[in-house]
Amino acid sequence: MSATTYNGYTNYETWNAALWIQNDEFLYNTAKAIVEFAEPDCTPIYNWQRFVRCMENGQRFTTGDGVRWDSAKINDFQMGALFEEL
C-alpha cells in the first residue's frame, strides 16, 4: 500500500513550498507581512495567492528546490491553512 500524503501534505510540491516558507527568513517574513497587512476580509487562500504573485513580481519563480510557486500541484487549501497559522 502506498502513502497518500507527503509528510502530512497532499504531495511533494505542497510540502516543499510550505517547508521553504517556514524555514527561509525572507520567505517567512514576506508571507507574514502579507498576512499582517491584508484587509480584514481576505481569506487565507487569497493571502497565499498574493504571496505567489509577490514571488513572481520579484522574479523568484521557484522554491530553492525548483518547485514553481504557481504550480497547479500545490494544494491551495493546505497553503491557506499555513497562512492562517502565521
Q: What is the pLDDT of residue 1?
A: 44
Question: Could you report the per-residue pLDDT of 8-38, keeping only the tens digit for each?
Answer: 999 999 999 999 999 999 999 999 999 999 9
Question: Could you report the per-residue pLDDT of 34-49, keeping only the tens digit for each?
Answer: 999 999 899 999 999 9
Query: Which grid coordinates are listed for 11?
Result: 504531495
Whole-model pTM?
0.89
Residue whose C-alpha cell is 517567512: 28
Neighbours of 23 (CB within 10 A): 10
What DSSP string runs through 4-59?
SSBTTBSSHHHHHHHHHHHH-HHHHHHHHHHHHTS-TT--HHHHHHHHHHHHHHTT
| Cβ(17)–Cβ(78) below 8 Å | no
